[in-house]
Structure 1
Amino acid sequence: MRTAVFADLHDNYVGLTAVLDDAQAQQVDRFIFLGDAGHQPRILAALQARKISCVYGNWEVSGLRRLSGPLAEWVSSWPALIRENGAAYCHAAPEMPTPLPTAAAAAAWMRPGMSWSALFPRLHQNIDALWNALAWMQSHNVTVLFHGHTHVQMAWIWNPATNKLRSLAGPACIKLSPDERTIVGVGSAGVPEDGALRYAIYDEIAGVVDLRRVEPSHMEFFQLKRHR
């Protein structure tokens, strides 16, 4: 099973199509989206039409009340976490401070003045949140965790036996080990902080994560600049 994992479109339809086209050229079997699609219905409709599995991010929580009808019902049901076969997928961190299993539950829980960082810490800036995520992986027997939110493509690899933690930036190819815990920030498919569009391909059978960089065409690049 080859899974393309992407995040943080922020209303960038050009970025969505560029990443989907690149992933399909790599012969992926499915897609998982890690939240922050934006507020344009056509972005959400495109994800729904392709039957892409999604987890909610802060944009889904804050923008849920703007949606209506079947699209709102669908986004309301997005989970906070997808977990399967030693892998997990979330927007920012695998654990929420309270039971918030869906976007609708998170939207109902948030109140004016609440900090978004309580739900969505930035792992590349918050070392405590990073170690909490690694501890969660160890206790739940999760080998690899994918997240978005930071708009930066990088990975952390922790060996529990030696307690050594190392990091690397994409693009790169990571060979996973069952004796290690690997956290993968897939980067942004819409508004990247590190240049080109970013996403990851997870090959479950080979045990490999490919951190990919997508260079859009000249016209796509012009359209992308208009989004920033």
Structure 2
Amino acid sequence: MSDTQEIHNYPFDSIINFKKSGHSFSYKIIKEGTYPNKSLLAYTLPPNKYRIPDDYMVETTWGRSNNRCVVQCFINYIDNKPVFQIWFGKCFEHVVSSVRSATDVTNLFHKEYTSLKKTKTSGIYLFGLHLKTLEMAREGKRRAHILKPIDQCGNSTLTKRAMSIGKHILAEFNEKTQKLYNLEDVPALESICYSVNKKHTFNISYENEDKTKKKQKLESIVRALDEGNIPRDSYR
């Protein structure tokens, strides 16, 4: 079992608690940030090489009792390079900044504020650059952003998306029913219906058809829609 934990209900709750042997941090995500294009994307140093987000802001809390510290960390790309800032003080009125790395600005922060306290930590942990929860959230939004809108999709893309959703829901249905019904019961998912943008309606039937025929049938329906023979809001 891993000794690393990320305890959260993100994105419904902005707090992510991170625990690792000897370390405990609480992160309040103010701005999730995004990953720049590959040509601009910067990384932390090896061996981890974490991706560095743009437009990122997090409030980090660590330490205990008298040694408890709270800071706000910012990363913004300026002239295509990340600039790291740490704001601290009772009202976050003080700031240190660096264009070199999260570690460099964290060292500046320790010199300014925590030199007399036993609260020193790494720049990676202070900025939360290691958090897999945020990495997955950003990556998911990036993939969603590059997907073509439905009005720009051809027959093949519409077919693949509908079939993928249908397969995923069927797998979920089969898994859940095994836990919720008696072994003698035979629940069957017969069809699903969903819409996109409230004007494109998709009906998927789980009849016992030959896969090739089913795909051809779905493709012909999509083709008819695109040719204007069938209104999109009555997709069957």
Whose relative contact order is higher, 1 or 2, with alpha carbons under 8 Å and at least 6 apart? Answer: 1
* Pair member with larger Rg: 2
User: Which protein is richer in helix relative to its size?
Assistant: 2
> TM (normalized to structure 1)?
0.23
> TM (normalized to structure 2)?
0.22
